[in-house]
Amino acid sequence: MQSVGVLALQGSFSEHLTKLAQLTEVLPVAVKTAADLEQVDRLILPGGESTAISRLLQRTGLSELLKRRVKEGLPVWGTCAGLILLAKNIVGEQPHLGVMDITVRRNAYGSQLDSFSCRQLLPALGAEPLPLVFIRAPWIERVGEQTEILGEYAGHIIAARQGKLLATSFHPELTDSDAVYRYFLQL
């Protein structure tokens, strides 16, 4: 049984915890403190507001610990705001954790497409078309040499992996698919 943490400071963490509870061989853990973060085998950074989550990471002292655990090889999956937290580069802004070699654009789809959903086959993540939910989503403008592109939608990168770091600009916790969870759990 592996313990899978979800950073539970702000955003859609309870939806991730509910999805994890439906998977076998997984112990879901709401991560709020350093002690929580020390004990998990994997971590999900949820969607929400990246600036707010970043501020809370600083205030709780979790930011430095999380960077250390990433360096030590902790598998981390960032969804939407979580992807923004992982990125080394954010267009027009300072990075937060800055651990993944990607350049992201926040709120990339603009106000007219603030939120939308669709289905798209992303072969790297599963054999069936995936339901994709975008909520004021970022996209990835550039990936580094060590980063593998896992999916694109309408000409923009929406999923990528660098070693044990996974980033998706969409919200699998709001769908009935567990394909991306399965992918993350075998990283």
The stretch among 22-30, 63-71, 77-85, 94-102 that binds ligand GLN (CB under 6 A) is 77-85
**Nearer Cβ to ligand GLN, position 2 or 18?**
18
Q: Which stretch in 1-9, 44-52, 57-65, 93-101 sits in contact with ligand GLN by CB under 6 A?
A: 44-52
Least separation in angstroms between residue 18's CB and ligand GLN is 17
Q: Residue 39 or 116: which CB sits closer to ligand GLN?
A: 116
Residue from 25, 80, 96, 156 carrying the catalytic annotation: 80
Backbone torsions φ then ψ of 65, nearest 5 degrees: -60, -40
Here the tokens at position 142 are 């550039």
Provide the minimum distance between the beta carbon of 139 and ligand GLN in the complex, in angstroms, as a whole number.
11
Question: Is 118 a catalytic site residue?
Answer: no
Does 106 interact with ligand GLN (rule: CB under 6 A)?
yes
Measured between alpha carbons, how far is residue 139 from residues 9, 64, 87, 186 in Å?
23, 26, 11, 24
Q: Is 171 a catalytic residue?
A: yes
**Cα–Cα nearest to 54, from 16, 99, 20, 17:** 99
Any alpha helices (H) in the chain, and if so which ranges? 13-21, 34-39, 50-59, 62-71, 81-86, 179-185
CB 75 within 8 A of CB 164: yes
Candidate ranges 14-22, 63-71, 80-88, 139-147; the one touching ligand GLN (CB under 6 A): 80-88
**H-assigned helices in 1-86:** 13-21, 34-39, 50-59, 62-71, 81-86
Residues recognised as catalytic: 80, 171, 173
Q: Which residues are annotated as a binding site?
A: 48-50, 106, 135-136
